[in-house]
């Protein structure tokens, strides 16, 4: 079992002398030694730093494949769920919202909760005019969805990484950049479109205050039925409000 968890040669080491990742492997070996049919892992990597956490994700996938048993893995880390799973079950308050493959959960969320919980999302109010045709922000867009009632109110989901920034005269919509955050591989760019703030993840740097256009392809627009979660997510101005509250709390009373 130590060989399976890559700890062969550590038999005589004290547990306390091992690294965090090695201690996690010991715990997994203890759980696997009885050959269970199903192993429940409840946030097993929560205490590890980011680099070690990613290494252990790969190790757990390798161990699961070597053992050939079912792992039920509980996590609040969306990236971890997408990385490790064959099947994802998204739950809210004990109720299953969607079950599916990672690609289906991400690309075809069933409602606004799933769309917001798995990855970043811009969620807008729209009207399905007809098959493959949706209207939002006063404009009609082509999409790849069908089977909705004519003129049915819907939720429209657009992932931040699917949005192309173009010159204003080439854009389907135009807005003003209100915030830019460098994330290493891309910029998190907040853009105000008619009072509704979108998140765009792009390698193009657009300075705060610049006026830009965006282009949306039909396959980048996903349509969902309205649900109890409609209207709860999507406008990134909510984050600005939270930061404003934190900033206000830090101002001494005699300076207010």
Residue 171's nearest CA partner among 205, 217, 223, 129 is 217
Shared domain check, 184 and 62:
no
Q: What is the pLDDT along the chain (256 residues), one digit of tens a residue?
A: 888 888 888 888 998 898 877 888 888 889 999 889 999 999 888 777 888 888 888 888 888 888 889 999 999 888 889 988 999 999 999 999 999 999 999 999 999 999 998 888 999 999 999 999 999 988 999 999 999 999 999 999 999 999 999 999 999 899 999 999 999 999 999 999 988 899 999 999 999 999 999 999 999 999 999 999 998 886 775 444 444 444 444 444 454 4
pLDDT for 250 equals 47
pLDDT for 93 equals 92
DSSP-assigned beta bridge partners for residue 49:
none
| Residue 78: CATH number of its domain | 3.40.50.300
Indicate the DSSP class of residue 172: S
Asked, for residue 93, whether it belongs to a domain, the answer is no
Number of compact structural domains in the chain:
2
pLDDT for 99 equals 97
Shared domain check, 131 and 21:
no
Alpha-carbon gap, residue 120 to 223, rounded angstroms = 16
Residue 214 burial (CB count, 10 A): 21
Residue that finishes a domain, picked among 62, 86, 110? 86
Alpha-carbon gap, residue 238 to 182, rounded angstroms = 20
Q: Which domain holds residue 82?
A: 15-86
Shared domain check, 33 and 156:
no
Shared domain check, 138 and 80:
no
Shared domain check, 128 and 228:
yes
Residue 86 near residue 24 (C-beta atoms within 8 A): no
Cα separation of the two ends of the chain: 63
Asked, for residue 107, whether it belongs to a domain, the answer is no
Residue 256 CB partners (closer than 8 Å, separation 6+): none
pLDDT for 244 equals 43
DSSP-assigned beta bridge partners for residue 213:
166, 174
Alpha-carbon gap, residue 231 to 105, rounded angstroms = 20
Residue 149 near residue 142 (C-beta atoms within 8 A): no
Radius of gyration of the chain, Cα coordinates, nearest whole angstrom: 23
Both structure tokens of 220: 């980048």
* Chain segment 2-49, per-residue pLDDT in tens: 888 888 888 889 988 988 778 888 888 899 998 899 999 998 887 778
Asked, for residue 8, whether it belongs to a domain, the answer is no
**Residue ranges of E strands in 131-221:** 133-136, 139-142, 152-158, 164-166, 173-182, 187-193, 196-202, 211-215
Residue 226's nearest CA partner among 133, 104, 128 is 128
pLDDT for 237 equals 58
């Amino acid at each position: 079992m130590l060989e399976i968890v890559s700890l062969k040669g550590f038999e005589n080491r004290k547990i306390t002398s091992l690294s965090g990742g090695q201690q996690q492997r010991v715990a997994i070996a203890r759980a696997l030694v009885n050959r269970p049919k199903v192993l429940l892992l409840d946030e097993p990597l929560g205490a590890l730093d980011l680099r070690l956490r990613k290494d252990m994700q790969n190790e757990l996938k390798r161990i699961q494949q070597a053992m050939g048993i079912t792992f039920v893995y509980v996590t609040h880390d969306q990236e971890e769920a997408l990385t490790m799973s064959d099947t994802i079950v998204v739950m809210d308050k004990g109720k299953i919202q969607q079950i599916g493959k990672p690609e289906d959960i991400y690309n075809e969320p069933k409602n606004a909760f799933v769309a917001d919980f798995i990855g970043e999302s811009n969620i807008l109010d729209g009207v399905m005019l007809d098959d493959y045709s949706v209207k939002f922000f006063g404009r009609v867009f082509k999409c790849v969805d069908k089977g909705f009632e004519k003129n049915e109110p819907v939720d429209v989901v657009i992932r931040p990484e699917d949005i192309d920034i173009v010159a204003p005269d080439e854009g389907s919509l135009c807005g003003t950049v209100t915030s830019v955050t460098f994330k290493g591989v891309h910029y998190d760019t907040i853009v105000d479109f008619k009072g509704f703030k979108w998140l765009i993840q792009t390698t193009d740097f657009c300075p705060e205050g610049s006026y830009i256009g965006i282009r949306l392809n039909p396959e980048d627009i996903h349509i969902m039925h309205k649900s109890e979660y409609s209207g709860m997510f999507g406008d990134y101005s909510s984050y600005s409000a939270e930061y404003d509250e934190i900033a206000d709390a830090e101002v001494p009373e005699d300076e207010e």
